[in-house]
């Protein structure tokens, strides 16, 4: 077992079961790892502690906290829908997030949760927000894992919505050996790098970010907050899904690419599809319930957006530095 795997499995046991045998001491860790961890901690500040904890401190391969792939009971996961910007709605559970971007010509849904949450959170959530689910024109699946794609077929079949995945993830879901709860979506739109999807007054730019899955992609789009414009950077595929040099090289390159796209667009908002990484469930309530003259919790500024990708990149380099194949570059 490599040093990296020993560390990850050791920490996983400690965190998961409080069964710490011989704890890994900082002195055992390479200087390269400690340097990347330090940089990541400095970038995380108070904003991105979830990413820091998961990817730098306990970056195990496997589902995140609360990643129930079968229904553990509505009391465990149900969260109320919230209007968080003039044209953006949180339709998530306490753990995973689906978003609705409203436009002058219909609705774009971004990610669709596990199948058991699609009806209560997305369909009923839209109605609670006085939005019409039949107006959903596009469903963007930013990567093809069950916690984000199981509602796609429902929108295709029920409302004729177009579904977009990355090319690699259309292949991924087609090759799945187990049937997808809710049904596998029929192949439709392919997320191509740089493509701008327009609907009414909205334009959503696709930024391919392979790593977590081959077809993962991020998004850049505009929202307004009480009329004030903001640009959103949407990050998908946050957790590590492999531990080898090729994986981390691809993953780090995608973080740099998405950070550059966010900076070029002047993004001041960073969201994703797991509350463990972006605190969306908490921020959604703060954003929706605040008095009109208070700041929106999702607006973290250009520095805040840059720091998210810095934490992601540094944690990747830290993990890579522990590989037996050699130090990171």
194 phi, psi to nearest 5 deg: 90, -10
Nearer to Zn ion, 145 or 153 (CB): 145
- As given in the structure block, the two tokens for residue 201 are 């007054």
Q: What secondary structure letter does DSSP report for 274?
A: B
Per CB under 5 A, contacts with Zn ion among 272-301 are: none
Q: Find the binding residues for Zn ion in span 145-164 (CB under 5 A).
A: 145
**Which residues in the 221-250 window bind Zn ion by CB under 5 A?**
none
Given the complex with Zn ion, which of 87 and 142 has the nearer CB atom? 142
- Angle (CA) 96 101 104, round 5°: 165
Residues 128-147 close enough to bind Zn ion by CB under 5 A: 145
User: By C-beta, is 64 or 129 nearer to Zn ion?
Assistant: 64
Structure tokens at 121: 């959170």
In terms of C-beta density within 10 A (0-12 exposed, 13-18 middle, 19 or more buried), how is residue 195 classed? Answer: middle
Instruction: Take residue 60 and report the two structure tokens written for it.
Output: 């195990």
- The residue (of 239 and 305) whose beta carbon lies closer to Zn ion is 239
Supply the minimum distance, in Å, between the C-beta of residue 143 and Zn ion: 5
State the alpha helices, DSSP H only, in the chain: 3-17, 31-44, 49-51, 74-77, 115-117, 124-128, 146-149, 152-159, 167-174, 245-265, 275-278, 280-289, 301-321
Q: Report the nearest approach of Zn ion to the CB of residue 116 (Å).
A: 17
Nearest distance, CB of residue 303 and Zn ion, angstroms: 27
DSSP-derived secondary structure for 127-148: HHTT--GGGEEEEE-SS-SHHH
Distance CA 28, CA 139 (A): 47
By three-state DSSP, how is residue 96 classified?
strand
Minimal CB distance residue for Zn ion? 145
* Distance in Å, CB of 291 to Zn ion, minimum: 36
Q: Rounded to whole angstroms, how far apart are CA atoms 13 and 8?
A: 9
Joined together, the tokens standing for residue 245 give 């040099």
Binding map of Zn ion across residues 175-214, x = CB under 5 A, - = no contact: ----------------------------------------
Phi, psi values for residue 134, rounded to 5° = -70, -10
- Taking the C-alpha atoms of residue 106 and residue 262, their distance in angstroms, rounded to an integer, is 25
Judged by CB under 5 A, the number of residues near Zn ion is 1
- Here's the x/- map for Zn ion, 92-131, by CB under 5 A: it reads as ----------------------------------------
Q: Which of 194, 121, 126, 183 is nearest to 157 (CA)?
A: 183
Query: Shortest approach of Zn ion to residue 103 CB, angstroms?
Result: 27
Closest distance of CB 24 from Zn ion, Å: 27
Place of tokens 């966010």: 262
Smallest separation, CB 112 to Zn ion (Å): 13
What is the closest distance, in whole angstroms, from the C-beta atom of residue 274 to Zn ion in the complex? 8
- The smaller minimum CB distance to Zn ion, of residues 145 and 230, is found at 145
Residue among 211 and 313 whose Cβ is closer to Zn ion: 211
Residue closer to Zn ion, measured from CB, 172 or 202: 172
C-beta of 36 vs 145, nearer to Zn ion: 145
CA-angle at 187, arms to 182 and 188, nearest 5°: 110
- Residues in the site for Zn ion, rule: CB under 5 A? 145
């Amino acid at each position: 077992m490599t040093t990296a795997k020993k560390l990850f499995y050791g920490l996983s046991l400690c965190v998961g079961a409080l069964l710490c045998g011989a704890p890994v001491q900082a002195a055992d860790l390479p200087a390269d790892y400690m340097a990347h961890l330090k940089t990541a901690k400095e970038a995380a500040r108070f904003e991105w502690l979830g990413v820091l904890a998961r990817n730098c401190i306990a970056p195990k391969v496997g589902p995140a906290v609360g990643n129930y792939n079968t229904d553990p009971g509505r009391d465990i996961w149900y969260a109320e829908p919230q209007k968080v910007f003039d044209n953006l709605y949180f339709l998530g559970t306490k753990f995973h997030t689906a978003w609705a971007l409203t436009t002058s010509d219909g609705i774009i849904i971004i990610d669709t949760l596990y199948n058991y949450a699609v009806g209560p959170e997305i369909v009923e959530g839209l109605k609670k927000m006085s939005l019409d689910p039949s107006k959903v024109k596009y469903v963007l699946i930013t990567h093809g894992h069950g916690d984000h794609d199981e509602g796609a077929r429902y929108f295709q079949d029920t409302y004729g919505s177009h579904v977009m995945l990355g090319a690699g993830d259309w292949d991924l879901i087609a090759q799945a050996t187990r049937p997808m709860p809710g049904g596998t979506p029929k192949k439709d739109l392919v997320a191509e790098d740089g493509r701008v999807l327009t609907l009414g007054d909205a334009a959503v730019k696709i930024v391919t970010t392979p790593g977590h899955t081959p077809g993962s992609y991020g998004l850049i789009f505009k929202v307004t907050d009480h009329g004030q414009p903001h640009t959103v950077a949407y990050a998908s595929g946050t957790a590590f899904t492999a531990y080898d040099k090729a994986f981390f090289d691809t993953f780090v390159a995608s973080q740099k690419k998405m950070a550059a796209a966010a900076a070029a667009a002047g993004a001041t908002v960073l969201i994703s599809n797991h509350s463990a990484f972006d605190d969306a469930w908490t921020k959604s309530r703060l954003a929706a319930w605040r008095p009109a003259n208070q700041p929106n919790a999702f607006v973290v500024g250009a520095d805040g957006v840059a720091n998210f990708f810095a934490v992601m990149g540094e944690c990747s380099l830290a993990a890579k530095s522990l590989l037996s194949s050699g130090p990171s570059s």
